[in-house]
Amino acid sequence: MSAIIERTDALNGVLNIPGDKSFTHRALILGALSSGDTRISHFPHSQDCNDTIECLNHLGISIEKEQDEVIIHGRGLHGLTEPGLTLSVGNSTTTIRLLSGVLASQDFVSEISGDNSILRRPMDGIISPLKQMGANISSKLNNNCPPLVILPSQIKGITYKSDIASSQVKSSVLFTALFGDNPTAFIEPYQSRNHTELLLSAFGANLDCAGNQVVIQPAERLYPIDVTIPGDISSAAYFITAALITKNSEIRLCEIGMNPTRNGFLDVIREMGADIEIINEKQGLEPTADLIVRSSKLHGITLSGEIIPRTLDEIPILMVLACYAEGITFIKDGGELKLKESDRLDITIDNLKKMGANIEKANDSIVIEGGHPLHGAIIGTKYDHRIAMSFAIAALGASGKTEIIGSECVNVSYPGFYEALRGLCPASRA
Ligand code: S3P
């Protein structure tokens, strides 16, 4: 399928963004491991989260879904059962990395795999620490990629110093550590998103967090919770950008997650000069707020270091935004993006060049000179949801028509994305 998007002059209206995908995966998995019923509200019906549910179903967990509410009938830390087939995570790396942490400590054999993009995603980031913890986990084809084969083993507590700030690696280790003989310490170079730590604590696990270090005790039992998922800041980023780059726009996005380890995007756009107001702030398990965003005159900035893990998934849309800002934007330290659902650096650069942007790459650094008018083009997405959404937004400020090939891949994180966009700018057709 493809979507055709045209220039629009104004976006207006109020939007409820679906629940945070990253947070939801963790709530589902911990709900399954807790003893009793966990209720999740504002559940996002994205393909990735549905794939986590399906994996948990194959592990013996029953889950009821009703509109945007999900009830997980948890069976306790030792209640999962042998799946009897290869678990499939579809397109979701978060599912394979986090669930492998749980499977590593079960007393049954499991195999876990996914779609073609998953088959090329490196897993050494989790295989290495889990092996140090005594897990028997390996890449079936010996290429560091899925399928992963996991055999029963005795888990021990370790101290692990990670070279990269990755919440997927941290979460996988913390989940395995629940089943260890001793505490586990995880240290990372910068603090990656901390949804796992907040949720583990809410489910009754015993952990101490200080800056880039987490120490977790083995657990005997987790306790079910009721939780409302905050609006996904990564999904909100597309609409925020759309309002910033189009003339005469003002939109309100409701109950967006404001976890500071996650919303580096907001810091970046403020530094670029964005007119964004934060109102209706609430403190739940994670803070939320409504965001009012208006058309803005932006300027280029330099992005590097600790901000990168806090805005990693938003870098493609930030590259789009930089094309609409005056002056130069530099993005450094984004090498991790090459290993996402697609090579997000190269594919974003190629597509922006097709649209007439002035953008260059030197090693893994990107230089974008904003202010050059963009024009419509045919956009290849490699079936990567974040690329499709980024270019649907780029098209709103470009002359002519833009065609997004494989546009339905947005369902991985945001079913209803094009309808939501159309609702704010009736002029765009998708
Ligand atoms: C995620 C962590 C990030 C992010 C991914 C989701 C998570 O990956 O890019 O989309 O839910 O933990 P890394 O942990 O590899 O940085």
Task: Give the model confidence (pLDDT) of 254-267 as tens digits.
Answer: 999 999 999 999 99
| Residue 429 confidence (pLDDT) above 50 | no
Angle 292-295-297 from CA coordinates, rounded to 5°? 125
Average pLDDT over residues 40-54: 97
CATH number assigned to the domain comprising residue 327? 3.65.10.10
- Neighbour tally for 420: CB within 10 Å: 19
Q: How much is the pLDDT for 426?
A: 65
Is the beta carbon of 235 within 6 A of some atom in ligand 1?
A: no
Pairing, β 213-216 against β 207-210? antiparallel
Is the beta carbon of 22 within 6 A of some atom in ligand 1?
A: yes
CA–centroid distance, residue 237 to ligand 1 (Å) = 16
Is the beta carbon of 167 within 6 A of some atom in ligand 1?
A: yes
CA–centroid distance, residue 169 to ligand 1 (Å) = 9
Q: Are residues 58 and 163 in the same domain?
A: yes
Residue nearest to atom 15 of ligand 1 (CA): 166
pLDDT-above-70 percentage for the chain: 99
Measured distance CA(245)–CA(324) in Å, rounded: 6
Is the beta carbon of 27 within 6 A of some atom in ligand 1?
A: no
Q: Are residues 128 and 204 in the same domain?
A: yes
Q: Are residues 113 and 207 in the same domain?
A: yes
Q: Are residues 222 and 287 in the same domain?
A: no
Within a domain: residue 189? yes
Q: Are residues 147 and 28 in the same domain?
A: yes
Within a domain: residue 429? no
Domain final residue pick, 228, 249, 274: 228
In the chain, the amino acid numbered 251 is I
Domain final residue pick, 228, 251, 278: 228
Average pLDDT over residues 63-86: 97
Q: Are residues 223 and 236 in the same domain?
A: no
Q: How much is the pLDDT for 87?
A: 98
Residue 306 lies in domain: 2-19+230-424
Angle 279-285-290 from CA coordinates, rounded to 5°? 15
Q: Are residues 269 and 161 in the same domain?
A: no
- Helix (H) / strand (E) containing 369: strand 365-369
Within a domain: residue 430? no
Q: Are residues 43 and 169 in the same domain?
A: yes
Within a domain: residue 356? yes
Q: Are residues 43 and 163 in the same domain?
A: yes
Q: Are residues 261 and 383 in the same domain?
A: yes
Q: Are residues 385 and 249 in the same domain?
A: yes
Is the beta carbon of 94 within 6 A of some atom in ligand 1?
A: yes
Within a domain: residue 394? yes
Q: Are residues 276 and 401 in the same domain?
A: yes
Is the beta carbon of 259 within 6 A of some atom in ligand 1?
A: no
Closest atom of ligand 1 to 22 CA is: 11
| Chain segment 308-322, per-residue pLDDT in tens | 999 999 999 999 999
pLDDT tier at 83, thresholds 50, 70, 90: very high
Instruction: Supply the residues annotated as catalytic.
Output: 313
| Residue 179 confidence (pLDDT) above 50 | yes
Tell me the average pLDDT of the chain.
96
pLDDT tier at 364, thresholds 50, 70, 90: confident
Measured distance CA(306)–CA(303) in Å, rounded: 9
| Residue 280 confidence (pLDDT) above 80 | yes
In the chain, the amino acid numbered 401 is K
As a residue count, the chain comes to 430
Residue nearest to atom 13 of ligand 1 (CA): 166
CA–centroid distance, residue 166 to ligand 1 (Å) = 6
| Residue 430 confidence (pLDDT) above 50 | no
CA–centroid distance, residue 286 to ligand 1 (Å) = 18
Question: How many domains is the chain built from?
Answer: 2
Within a domain: residue 287? yes
Q: How much is the pLDDT for 154?
A: 97
Asked if 126 and 101 count as a contact pair (C-beta separation under 8 A), the reply is yes
Within a domain: residue 282? yes
CA–centroid distance, residue 8 to ligand 1 (Å) = 32
Within a domain: residue 177? yes
Domain final residue pick, 172, 206, 228: 228
| Chain segment 119-156, per-residue pLDDT in tens | 999 999 999 999 999 999 999 999 999 999 999 999 99
